[in-house]
Amino acid sequence: MQIGLSSQDISQAEIDAVVGVLKSSHLSLGPKLPEFESILARYVGRKYGVAVNSGTSALHLAMIALGIGPGDEVITTPFSFIATTNIVLMVGATPVFVDIDEDTYNIDVSQIEAKITPKTRALLPVEVFGNPKGLDKVCDLAKKHDLLCIEDSCEALGSVVNSRKAGTLGDVSFFAFYPNKQMTTGEGGMVVTDDENLAAMCKSLRNQGRDEGAGWLAHARLGYNFRLSDINCAIGVEQVKRMDSFIEKRRNVAKMYQEALGDDSRLILPYEPEGCLVSWFVYVVRLQDSYTQEHRDKVLESLRAQGIGCSNYFSPIHLQPFIAEKLGTRVGQFPVTEKVAQRTIAIPFHNNITREQVDVVSNALSKSLDSLGEPGLS
């Protein structure tokens, strides 16, 4: 039995919508683009959405539209997908890392103020694995210090913290729609904001610097081609309509894993914190501190040998060789990130996992832990 780590959930509605676009006269810059932008923005509770070809592109446009560049520092987390830090570097700014909270895996808000300097322009926090806890406090802190807050909500579409939705906390926020996310457009992303000028700037930047309504060969500024085709947007429109059911299905899978693995004291399981609604992105279990990275890697190997998709989520950004070389970061600098990263195991998680699959994965996981023996006694 093969059980994949993630899977998209495509219904006949998405297929029909794509066929509809293919039969129309607009494969790009057609009516599905504004339709997707407005339905997603409305779902999140934002005034404006700007659809682009990836979550990474969305961050790139937001940073440029906000004028962040050389000489600026951006405070972010070393426990994220690499794109968060890469784009800070791409625009010529300097990423400044703050370690994570051991409980939420999100940037530790209590350590941020110590890293603020006169060069700091923005905070760039992430709702890691969809958990929004503490992100409201991070964005409030940005406001207090007159800094921009750029919220990387790529893993948290639909999450809520203290009645505030992920994607509404930053001055600008952004989402991604790669097939492993809660909803997909194949490839895609979106900038969301309440700032009309910022949205207009992002629209121009994604489309070769053209201003809205200006001619095809009239370029007001240096721009990119980060457009998202109407084929992708059509998938997105149908997926947004199904988002509430996706969240419900994922919540149910998380509950099944909790029931199957909750009594295993060797594991630290993810959970929904007080005051939060988690739109589950992945299901990442963590081995207790008494285990080592070698133990974890053996478990990954054993699960894979049994056809069970799994991954170490994430690898610390500050220890990626090109980052370490560029920024002079090193082992030991962000101990919580390193401790967590050495012990995480993402197990199969998507809308349509069955109880039988949950049981197969959970039993395989328990058996691989059994075969490690008592940690610390090897």
Q: How far is the CB of 232 from ligand PLP (least distance, A)?
A: 12
The C-alpha atoms of residue 165 and residue 173 are separated, in whole angstroms, by: 11
Which of these, 185, 350, 206, lies nearest to 280 by C-alpha position?
A: 350
83 binds ligand PLP per the rule CB under 6 A: yes
338 binds ligand PLP per the rule CB under 6 A: no
- Residue 340 near residue 286 (C-beta atoms within 8 A): yes
Cis peptide preceding 314, ω within 30 of 0: yes
**Window 90 to 129, contacts with ligand PLP (CB under 6 A):** 126
8 binds ligand PLP per the rule CB under 6 A: no
Piece of the chain touching ligand PLP by CB under 6 A; list 34-42, 79-87, 161-169, 261-269: 79-87
176 binds ligand PLP per the rule CB under 6 A: yes
**Window 185 to 214, contacts with ligand PLP (CB under 6 A):** 189
The C-alpha atoms of residue 175 and residue 45 are separated, in whole angstroms, by: 13
The C-alpha atoms of residue 350 and residue 56 are separated, in whole angstroms, by: 22
Q: Is 134 exposed, middle or buried (0-12, 13-18, 19+ CB in 10 A)?
A: buried
Out of 77, 80, 106, 368, the residue judged to bind ligand PLP by CB under 6 A: 80
- HSE-CB at 299 with a 13 A cutoff on CA atoms is 32
Piece of the chain touching ligand PLP by CB under 6 A; list 52-60, 196-204, 298-306, 352-360: 52-60
151 binds ligand PLP per the rule CB under 6 A: no
Q: What is the CA radius of gyration of the chain?
A: 21
- Residue 237 near residue 32 (C-beta atoms within 8 A): yes
Piece of the chain touching ligand PLP by CB under 6 A; list 80-88, 104-112, 136-144, 301-309: 80-88
239 binds ligand PLP per the rule CB under 6 A: no
Q: How far is the CB of 195 from ligand PLP (least distance, A)?
A: 21
Query: H or E element: which one contains 259?
Result: helix 230-261
Tokens of 167: 């994607």
User: In the bound complex, which residue of the shown chain has the CB atom lying closest to ligand PLP?
Assistant: 55
56 binds ligand PLP per the rule CB under 6 A: yes
Piece of the chain touching ligand PLP by CB under 6 A; list 30-38, 49-57, 108-116, 320-328: 49-57
The C-alpha atoms of residue 75 and residue 2 are separated, in whole angstroms, by: 40
Out of 40, 48, 51, 55, the residue judged to bind ligand PLP by CB under 6 A: 55
Point out which residues bind ligand PLP (CB under 6 A): 54-56, 80-81, 83-84, 126, 152, 154-155, 176, 178, 189
